[in-house]
């Protein structure tokens, strides 16, 4: 069973485990995913995709229970009205206690299994992340990340660009010994499109 953080007739907020795809992949062996499990778990209602988390990322993710909610939440994301915070454990120390990474991201079309992205100022899509260091423990840093855009692998690529790859990243820092990707979607804030009430969810990481 997928842990449910919040539910009503319009919205589901759940805790996605690390290692589970948000949506099915193209190959037959990649059909097990969060979306399909939720559709089985909530077979009496619609479960519609709003946004995604990388397979190796854990934490808060939203699903709509009707098309009107899906459309409204989609517009909130597009207008950057949804506030998201992640926590990560990274290798090394960041250059400043807090800062902004403005690094356009482009997909490497020569690599698809798994997909790989990189910073490309000339042809990449705009990608902006704010960060704030929370603690330093020897060779590792715990950092809070505030993505202002939602590009694929954005946080992972931006941390790598500062020389501080996320611990356990199988794509951008393979073989570092981490038992999982230490990246967790810890907080999400949005407006309920029916009640107009601001919803603010927090789910502490397990690392």
User: Which CATH number goes with the domain that contains 192?
Assistant: 3.30.2350.10
103, 106, 166, 171 from 121: Cα distances, Å? 7, 9, 22, 21
Residue with tokens 């423990």: 137
Q: Is residue 206 part of a domain?
A: no
Told to judge if 54 belongs to the known catalytic residues of this protein, a careful annotator would answer: yes
Predicted local distance difference test score (pLDDT) of residue 121: 95
Q: Is residue 205 part of a domain?
A: no
* DSSP structural state of residue 122: T
Burial of 157 (0-12, 13-18, 19+ CB in 10 A): buried
* Per-residue pLDDT tens digits of the chain, which is 207 residues long: 999 999 999 999 999 999 999 999 888 888 999 999 999 999 999 999 999 999 999 999 999 999 999 999 999 999 999 999 999 999 999 999 999 999 999 999 999 888 999 999 999 999 999 999 999 999 999 999 999 999 999 999 999 999 999 999 999 999 888 899 999 999 999 999 888 899 999 999 999
Please give the span between the terminal C-alpha atoms of the chain, in angstroms, as a whole number: 22
Q: Which domain holds residue 125?
A: 4-198
How far is 156 from 189, CA to CA, in rounded Å? 22
Which of 180, 172, 161 shows the shortest CA–CA distance to 114?
172
Options 8, 40, 54, 169, the catalytic residue:
54
Q: Is residue 204 part of a domain?
A: no
The number of distinct structural domains making up the chain is 1
Q: Is residue 207 part of a domain?
A: no
How far is 30 from 24, CA to CA, in rounded Å? 6
3-state helix/strand/coil string of 167-189: CCCCCCCCCCCCCCCCEEEEEEE
Residue 61 · residue 73 · CB < 8 Å: no
Residue 175 · residue 182 · CB < 8 Å: no
Q: Is residue 54 part of a domain?
A: yes
Predicted local distance difference test score (pLDDT) of residue 114: 87
Predicted local distance difference test score (pLDDT) of residue 193: 83
- How many Cβ atoms are within 10 Å of 142's Cβ, its own excluded? 16
Predicted local distance difference test score (pLDDT) of residue 30: 84
pTM over 0.85: yes
């Amino acid at each position: 069973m997928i842990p449910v953080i919040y539910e009503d007739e319009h919205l589901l907020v759940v805790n996605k485990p690390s290692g589970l795809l948000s949506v099915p992949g193209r190959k037959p062996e990649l059909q097990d995913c969060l979306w399909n499990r939720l559709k089985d778990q909530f077979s009496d209602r619609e479960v519609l995709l709003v946004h995604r988390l990388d397979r190796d990322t854990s934490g808060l993710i939203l699903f709509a229970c009707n098309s009107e909610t899906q459309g409204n939440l989609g517009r909130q994301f597009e207008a950057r009205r949804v506030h998201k915070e992640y926590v990560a454990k990274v290798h090394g120390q960041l250059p400043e206690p807090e800062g902004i990474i403005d690094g356009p991201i482009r997909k490497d079309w020569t690599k698809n299994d798994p997909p790989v992205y990189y910073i490309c100022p000339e042809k990449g899509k705009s990608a902006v992340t704010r960060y704030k260091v929370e603690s330093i423990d020897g060779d590792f840093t715990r950092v809070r990340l505030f993505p202002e855009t939602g590009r694929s692998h954005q946080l992972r690529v931006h941390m790598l660009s500062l020389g501080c790859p996320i611990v356990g990243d199988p794509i951008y820092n393979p073989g570092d010994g981490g038992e999982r990707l230490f990246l967790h979607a810890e907080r999400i804030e949005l407006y309920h499109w029916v009640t107009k009430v601001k919803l603010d969810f927090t789910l502490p990481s397990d690392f």
